[in-house]
Amino acid sequence: MNCKNCNNALKDTQKYCDECGAKIIQNRLTPRVIAAQVNEQFLSIDNKFLKTFIDLFKKPEDVITGYINGTRKRYIDVLQYFAVSLTLAGIQVFLMTTFFKDAFEFSSEVSGNAQNIANQESNPFGGVVYDMLTKYQGLVYILTVPLSAVGSWLAYFINGERKYNYTEHLILNLYYSAQIIIITAVFSILFLLFGLNYLIVSTILTLPIFIYLFYVLKRVFKENFLNTLAKFILTMFIYMSSLLILMILIALVLAVITIAQK
């Protein structure tokens, strides 16, 4: 028997390929096999997804630095975890645009006037914000992770902390971003079921998200409160500045596409 992934020769008793590490699949695909795989990956109480989710709160340094240092079997892979978070965000957007359309309506007079201006056909930016919150939300998440990695990497690089390179900061920010996307998606759905406005939900979640980033940085780099706070502030400044530039560029591109389609 040979491995179906790398064609390496295998023993009949092997459960994993000793060349590429792939799991040996011997059973044909049936509803029962699929259900067992779903339970193993996502529903089982001791599966990697649940363990990763919990430990990113309890001891994020174990998940993040463990992955960077080569421990990659204990927790779910960072890209897979990020993909799961984007899937949940997609479900959130589907529910909001299908069943909770009123969640995007702001009750204040100022925001109401802004919305009326944005909906004018003569305004090339009409609908851009809505599109970024719905159709292009996943793309926005993907594009912002490298920016947040730039923020944390530069903040620590400038202050002489060069333990991790940019790619390793990218791993840190992928795990962090996936965690907050999952939390935001789950809580947004729960809050919307109680009729809360999306703007209110986003505002409620903003402070815990920032606090969690500070917590992750402190646990991963093991510095005191003041040093971590200084680097956290610098990280946020670099990130928000680059994010603002990105949002302007995305808005311009979407506006050009909107004009071209008319």
pLDDT tens-digit series, residues 3-34? 878 888 877 777 788 788 777 776 666 777 67
Residue 240 counted as domain residue: yes
pLDDT tens readout for residues 94-115: 877 777 666 555 444 434 444 4
Does residue 15 lie within any of the structural domains? no
Residue 120 pLDDT > 60: no
Give me the number of domains the chain comprises: 1
174 within a domain of the structure (yes/no): yes
Q: Please indicate, yes or no, if residue 102 is contained in any of the structural domains.
A: yes
17 lies in a domain? no
51 falls within a domain = no
Range of the domain at 198: 76-261
Q: Does 71 map to a domain? A: no
- For the cut 60, the answer to whether the pLDDT of residue 203 exceeds it is yes
What confidence score (pLDDT) does residue 172 get?
A: 96
Q: Model pTM greater than 0.85?
A: no
What DSSP line would sit under the chain, residue for residue? -B-TTT--B--TT-SB-TTT-PBPP-SPP-HHHHHHHHIIIIISTTSHHHHHHHHHHH-HHHHHHHHHTT--SSS--HHHHHHHHHHHHHHHHHHHHHT-GGGG---SHHHHHHHHHHT-TT-TTTTHHHHHHTTTHHHHHHHHHHHHHHHHHHHHHHTT--SS-HHHHHHHHHHHHHHHHHHHHHHHHHHHHTT--HHHHHHHHHHHHHHHHHHHHHHHH---HHHHHHHHHHHHHHHHHHHHHHHHHHHHHHHHHHHHH-
In a domain, 9, yes or no: no
